[in-house]
Amino acid sequence: QSDFYQPIDLQQRFFVQPVFYLESDLEDIYIEGDRVARYRFEQLYGQVDAGWNIGRKAQFRLGLRHGWQRAERDTGPAELQNQERLADSSLQANFSFDTRDAVRLPTSGTFFRGRYAKSGSWLGGEQDYESAEFVISKTFAIKEDSLSLIAGGADLIDGDLPITDLIQLGGIRSFPGRRPGELIGDGFWYTGSTYSWRLADIQPLFGEAIYAGVRLQGGRI
């Protein structure tokens, strides 16, 4: 992926950002916990965003994306079909808000990100769908420890999502008891909480410390 961020004014309130994205990835397909196939997903996109930095904590951007995608069976039963190369053009709207004191392991602050996508036949697009998704988290400092609450969800409003845009859950970032990408679909919700105990400081000057934590999370896809 490559992008070019260009502010329009000196205060950097407004900007434009063209983005180029190319991906080729092998993904496993599961049915009731058993791996039944492996596919190679390929996609290439170009996108141009216009955005607004709302102070130092929030950002809104609106962009037009165009490209193509395809899926080819690498292993698995012959009745599992390939997806031939399809063009995709979509309008993308994103809003984010972030007051966390750290990205990886915050001890306070709020994070929100929402995304809306509408695909159509403009610019030669061959697909028609509409979807929305969001995630929100809130972290509270409790003496030297922290408590984080998180919720998120997505919904297919209309049409059918392309196979490369289907939502994937599983792995350490969502459900560690499942393999990465084991849960796949076009809509989901989840909620959870994490409590982290601060065990020892490593480099207090840089805010580095050792934590132990416990996480409880549930969801549906």
pTM: 0.89
Q: State residue 203's pLDDT score.
A: 76
In this predicted model, what pLDDT tens digit does every residue of 44-87 receive, in sequence order?
A: 999 999 999 999 999 999 999 999 999 999 999 988 889 899 99
**205: three-class secondary structure by DSSP:** helix
**165: three-class secondary structure by DSSP:** helix
Q: State residue 3's pLDDT score.
A: 97
What is the rounded distance in angstroms from the CA atom of residue 98 to the CA atom of residue 39?
36
The average pLDDT across 189-207 equals 86
Dihedral sign from CA coordinates of 161, 154, 24, 67: positive
Residue 61 tokens read as: 């951007």
Percentage, residues of the chain above pLDDT 70:
98
Residues contacting 160, CB < 8 A, separation 6+: 127, 129, 186
List own/partner pairs for 104-107 with CB under 8 A and 24 or more apart: 105/196, 105/211, 106/139, 106/146, 106/148, 107/139, 107/141, 107/146, 107/196
Residue 214 tokens read as: 């416990």
